[in-house]
Amino acid sequence: MIDFVPTTTAEMVFSDNETKRLINDILSHRVTFPAYGKNSLILFGVFGSGKTTYAKIFFDEYERSYNGDTAFVTEFVVDSSEKITTIINKITQIADKVPLFNHSNKHYFFFDEFDNYQLEQQARLKHFLNRNNIICIMTTNNLHKIDKGIINRSHVINFNASSNLDEYVERMRQIIKDNYFPNLNYETLKEIAEESNGSWRDMSYLLEQCCNKVKPKLTLV
């Protein structure tokens, strides 16, 4: 099995250069964040595009930019049946305290598959997002199901497929090298990228299958 999971922003393939630049500018503090009423990131894109994986990477790298270590993150599995008032009370109690484990003095909140909240529930969270001591990341496969007020309070990060297939090719070449797999030619890697359409789950599966086909057979003596 190929180990394809990225561990840094540099190993990610973003949908376009503007998105990549924004992320790097936030992490290097060239763009002030949180600021101007935006203290959240919304990561949206197809299934398997790395949204959940990147949320943890971003939190850790942001925390390290303040000379911290691994970020202490409060995670929520979004469930529309849970009362939103319960969630708001819980995160407010956390945010009212001094963050003991984060050098950034920020509280980190992660909401996976945020669109599982109904629009009315999402709207109730807008007041909480006005705080300046929090950073939230929300993931979704369906941006159109996210409250417009939440979107306005967030930087929206596109995780759909990049049109620059060469970036996928370079990433797959590094994966091949790290996993000691046989090399594949450019055209094969490009075809894998095209067929995967931004899903790293599909890409890793296809990459492993292609590499296995060209593995040299062992000669029995």
User: Residue 78's pLDDT is what?
Assistant: 86
- pLDDT by position in tens, the chain (length 221): 667 889 999 999 999 999 999 999 999 999 999 998 899 999 999 999 999 999 999 999 999 999 988 999 999 888 888 889 999 999 999 999 999 899 999 999 999 999 999 999 999 999 999 898 999 999 999 999 999 999 999 999 999 999 899 999 999 999 999 988 999 999 999 999 999 999 999 999 999 999 988 866 544 44
DSSP states of 172-217 as a string?
Answer: HHHHHHHTTPPP--HHHHHHHHHHHTT-HHHHHHHHHHHHHHTPPP
User: What is the C-alpha to C-alpha distance for residues 33 and 127, in angstroms, rounded to an integer?
Assistant: 18
**pTM value?**
0.90
CATH of domain 16-158: 3.40.50.300
User: Residue 87's pLDDT is what?
Assistant: 92
Domain ranges of the chain: 16-158, 165-213
CB of 50 closer than 8 Å to CB of 6: yes
Question: Closest Cα to residue 41, out of 115, 109, 132?
Answer: 109
What are the Cα distances from residue 112, in Å, to 51, 92, 97? 9, 18, 23
User: Residue 221's pLDDT is what?
Assistant: 47
User: Residue 59's pLDDT is what?
Assistant: 97
User: Residue 213's pLDDT is what?
Assistant: 87
User: Residue 218's pLDDT is what?
Assistant: 47
User: Residue 80's pLDDT is what?
Assistant: 80
User: Residue 4's pLDDT is what?
Assistant: 83
CB of 59 closer than 8 Å to CB of 8: no
User: Residue 1's pLDDT is what?
Assistant: 61
